Amino acid sequence: MTQRFAYHVMPDPDGWGWVVAAEGYVTRSLPYGTVQEAIESTEDLVRRHPGSTLVVDEQPPQLTPIEIEHRLAA
């Protein structure tokens, strides 16, 4: 059985373009230059994981406590 994901295309919180993240995961993709490039890449992921969804977020999500801690430690 294939795992289902909700893939979010969103502005990079660091301001470098657009990134893709699977809901519930901290890891994000490397930034894409345009929203269209990010969507095209995500559509390929959705095709490989039947039942998955693509969501375009206009605002970057709030940083999680783990991400804040990681950035402060760097």
Strands (E), 1-74: 6-11, 18-22, 53-56
- What number of H helices and E strands is found in the chain? 2, 3
How many domains does one find in the chain?
Answer: 1
Per-residue pLDDT band for 15 (boundaries 50, 70, 90) equals: confident
How far is 1 from 3, CA to CA, in rounded Å? 7
Tell me the percentage of the chain whose pLDDT exceeds 70: 84
Of residues 15 and 37, which shows the higher confidence score?
Answer: 37
Asked if 7 contacts 23 with a C-beta cutoff of 8 angstroms, the reply is yes
Residue 17 lies in a domain: yes
Residue 11 lies in a domain: yes
Residue 22 lies in a domain: yes
Of residues 28 and 73, which shows the higher confidence score?
Answer: 28
Domain of residue 54 covers 6-73
Residue 37 lies in a domain: yes
pLDDT in tens, 33-64: 999 999 999 999 999 999 999 999 887 666 66
Of residues 49 and 2, which shows the higher confidence score?
Answer: 49
